[in-house]
Amino acid sequence: MSQVPDASPPAGGPPAVGATLQQLRQARKLSLDELSRRAGVSKSMLSQIERNQANPTVAILWRLANALGIELTEFLAPGQSARAAAPVTLVPAHAIPVIRSPDGLCTLRILGPIELAGQLEWYELSVAPGGELVSEAHEQGSREHLSVLGGSLLVEAAGDSRKLRSGETARYAADVPHAIRNPGKTGATALLVVEHAG
């Protein structure tokens, strides 16, 4: 997934985790280089996150949490312990984190729970005409499942390209560079599920 530079995220947008990340890193006496090595996240990305110039994806937060030995929720609600799970948990619409592509034409609403990050993630994807979501290869064995709910989208992976119309689903390898594009003249919406290799 892509990061979006933003020094002051808007209300209702993804939480700014920069200060929390810097505090946790410094408390453990870790340099940016060392945390980068442990987490497998580039030093430049870590620096941007700490300065709130980039919003990390759930997968990156998961790697950082593992490297720091904390729960992923510590980034989102620092200092708060996990509450006992209620039989039904409601997540208000304004509390769902949002990621936007660098071109500003793709919006991903993170629907999956934080604790499943790095295992199974699902998103509501909206792509404006001409928008594209281009991704580098994920870990070996990972796959994506894209179900178009409205409009049409083009999926590209491993040299193959398929057009999906409303109601259709594409399943494809995500351990190679891949892309989702909207070459049409109207917006498109879809459900995107990312299945990480176990």
pLDDT digits (tens, 9 = 90+) for 73-126: 777 665 544 444 568 877 788 878 888 888 889 999 989 887 777 788 999 999
Domain coverage including residue 46: 18-76
| Same domain? 180 vs 145 | yes
pTM over 0.75: no
| pLDDT, averaged across the chain | 82
Per-residue pLDDT, 151: 96
φ/ψ of 126, rounded to 5, equals: -120, 130
Per-residue pLDDT, 16: 62
The pLDDT-based confidence of 133 (bands split at 50, 70, 90) is very high
| Same domain? 48 vs 128 | no
| Same domain? 186 vs 109 | yes
Nearest one of 64, 85, 89, 88 to 76, comparing CA atoms: 64
Which CATH number fits the domain that encloses residue 43?
Answer: 1.10.260.40
pLDDT at residue 11 is higher than 50:
no
CB atoms within 10 A of CB 37: 13
- The reply to whether 92 falls in a domain is no
- The reply to whether 108 falls in a domain is yes
Question: Could you give the number of structural domains in the chain?
Answer: 2
Average pLDDT (139-161) is: 95
Q: Which residues of 82-100 are buried (b: 16+ CB within 10 A; e: fewer)?
A: eeeeeeeeeeeeeeebbbb
| Same domain? 69 vs 118 | no
Among 17-21, 70-74, 93-97, 170-174, the minimum mean pLDDT is found in 70-74
| Same domain? 123 vs 163 | yes
Per-residue pLDDT, 198: 63
| Same domain? 187 vs 106 | yes
Per-residue pLDDT, 26: 86
Per-residue pLDDT, 99: 86
Domain end, chosen from 59, 76, 93, is at 76
The two beta strands, 143-150 and 98-100, are unpaired
Contact indicator for 80, 34 with CB cutoff of 8 Å: no
pLDDT at residue 8 is higher than 50:
no
- The reply to whether 45 falls in a domain is yes
Which CATH number fits the domain that encloses residue 149?
Answer: 2.60.120.10
- The reply to whether 105 falls in a domain is yes
Per-residue pLDDT, 123: 94
Per-residue pLDDT, 15: 57
Residue 97 to residue 111: CA distance in whole angstroms:
8
| Same domain? 63 vs 111 | no
| Same domain? 184 vs 146 | yes
| Same domain? 61 vs 113 | no
Question: Length of the chain, please?
Answer: 198
pLDDT at residue 4 is higher than 50:
no
Query: In terms of pLDDT, which residue wins out, 76 or 19?
Result: 19
- The reply to whether 151 falls in a domain is yes
- The reply to whether 85 falls in a domain is no
Residue 110 to residue 108: CA distance in whole angstroms:
6
